[in-house]
């Protein structure tokens, strides 16, 4: 059975957020921490996992990642604080 895809948010050393998708979160976190992850996180380590959301397929995960990346910082903070896939989507 294939591993489900996960959308995750990292908080970088400088306080910024990075959103990504993977089907092996443990491996991906090690890559980010070692400077072999995304170009964005390379100079911003250490990073901290602050949110994760399981999605069924790669397509669903990529779609969700796109929607999260389009959120304002305020909405991302709310998503992280509330920890659910519907958090952070309402307009204030």
- CATH number, position 69: 3.40.1440.10
Q: Decide if 87 is inside a domain.
A: no
pLDDT digits (tens, 9 = 90+) for 34-82: 988 888 999 899 999 999 999 989 999 999 999 999 999 999 999 999 8
pLDDT of residue 83: 78
Report pTM. 0.87
Task: Domain of residue 69: give its range.
Answer: 5-82
Q: How many domains does the chain have?
A: 1
**42 domain-assigned:** yes
- Give the β-pairing of 5-11 and 17-22: antiparallel
In a domain, 40, yes or no: yes
28 vs 32: CA distance, rounded Å:
6
**58: three-class secondary structure by DSSP:** helix
- What strands, in cross-sheet order, belong to the sheet with 17-22? 17-22, 5-11, 48-55
Specify whether the CB–CB gap between 25 and 52 falls below 8 A. yes
Q: Among 39, 50, 46, which Cα is nearest to 13's?
A: 46
């Amino acid at each position: 059975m294939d591993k489900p895809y996960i959308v995750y948010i990292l908080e970088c050393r400088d306080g910024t957020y990075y959103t990504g998708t993977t089907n092996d979160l443990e491996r991906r976190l090690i890559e980010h921490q070692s400077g072999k992850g995304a170009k964005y996180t390379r100079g911003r380590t250490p990073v901290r996992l602050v949110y994760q959301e399981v999605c069924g397929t790669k397509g669903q995960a990529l779609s969700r990642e796109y929607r999260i990346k389009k959120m304002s910082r305020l909405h991302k903070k709310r998503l992280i604080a509330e920890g659910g896939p519907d958090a952070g989507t309402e307009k204030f």
